[in-house]
Each structure stands twice: as structure tokens, then as C-alpha cells.
Chain A
């Protein structure tokens, strides 16, 4: 079974802090994704990566950056956290090589910015 592990289930940070959300997958997947999920807005793609050191902007990249130094790890960075970044953050991964592989999700990190 695919295992996508997010480092924290719950996180509370203060406005202005630099926040790191970590995601690790154990299935050698090429593709990794970061989403945020908010009531009434569904899942929105922040950033994704097709390969190590490669990143592409999703639909809502503003205020975020990412890092993919190793194939199994994809980090989401909030450079200066703001209260409107309070949300559920979901990491996902999928096989590369074909565009039709399903994504597998972690359990999510519920982030609160005070």
C-alpha cells in the first residue's frame, strides 16, 4: 500500500512565523502535490512537483513556496504565515510516466495561524 506521511496532524503558529510542512512518501512516486482544503472551496492545488528539484505553481501559490531535494520528500513553506492561511493542508503523490495515475493522500495537517 502507498504510504504518504505528513509530519504533523495539528499545528499552531503565530502570524509572521516561517512554517514548514513536511511530506514523505514511500512508494518511489515521481509526482508530489500540496493542496489546501477549506469549507465550501474544496481542494485547491498550491504547488506540485514532477521530479527532484522541480516545482510548478498550482492554482493558489501566493504566500507559499516548496522544496523537493529528495524524491520521497516534498516540503511546503509558508514564508510569513498569515491568518488567512489557516486551513487543512493535504499532501499527495502519484506515479509518473503517465498522466492518468491516481493520487494518494496523506492524513492532512490542520494548521492554525493565530
Chain B
């Protein structure tokens, strides 16, 4: 199946720094979702985006649905140690009702 291009693959940052990651697709998406997965756990939904141009925040996290409907980004401000994990983007494209396409993940490491 299709996968989204997600970058960067991994990041090593210091506590307090801001983080930015993004996802791109070759096809138009109706929905963009961002998940976080802790080691040994299942992905947890962070933010859901439903409209092109939409900008949504959840605490220190902010995500945007790109105007072209082919991309999305996630920003984390003032990172803390518990932000460590793998962040996945996912989306519904126009032809696969209810099925999600997933990004390859961004592994975030935060150093003190």
C-alpha cells in the first residue's frame, strides 16, 4: 500500500527547543491525522485536521492541513523529555474510504 513521505526520519534535540516535522503525499487527502507512539504502546491520536488550511493546537502541539491538501506539518514548542517517541502522520485520501495511509514516522529524542 501507499505510504506518506514523512521527514525527518529522526531528530535529536535539547529540552526546550521547538520541533517541526512534515508529511507529503502525491495525492489529495481529505483528512490529516497526527499520532504519537511510545515504546511498546499503540499510537495515540494527537490532532485531527479536516479542512485545507486548518491550523489546530493541542497544548504545545500545533498542526496544519496544507492548502494543496497534499501536505501537513506538526510543530512541538518547548520540548520536554516526555515528548520522546515516534510521531506518525496519517490521512484519508479521496479513494480509500475509512482506510488510513500512514507516514513512515519521525523518531524524536530529547536530551536534557
A residues with CB within 8 A of B: 4, 6, 31, 33, 42-45, 48, 50, 58-59, 90, 94, 96, 99-108, 110
Per the CB 8 Å criterion, the residue count for chain B at the interface is 26
Q: Is the CB of A105 within 8 A of B1?
A: no
Partner of A48, one of B33, B42, B88, B98: B98
Segment touching A, from B17-25, B43-51, B73-81? B43-51
B residues with CB within 8 A of A: 1, 3, 30-31, 33, 35, 40-45, 48, 50, 88, 90, 92, 96-100, 102-105
Q: Which residues of B contact A99 (CB under 8 A)?
A: 30, 92, 96-98
Q: Is the CB of B98 within 8 A of A102?
A: no
A63, chain B: closest CB distance, angstroms: 17
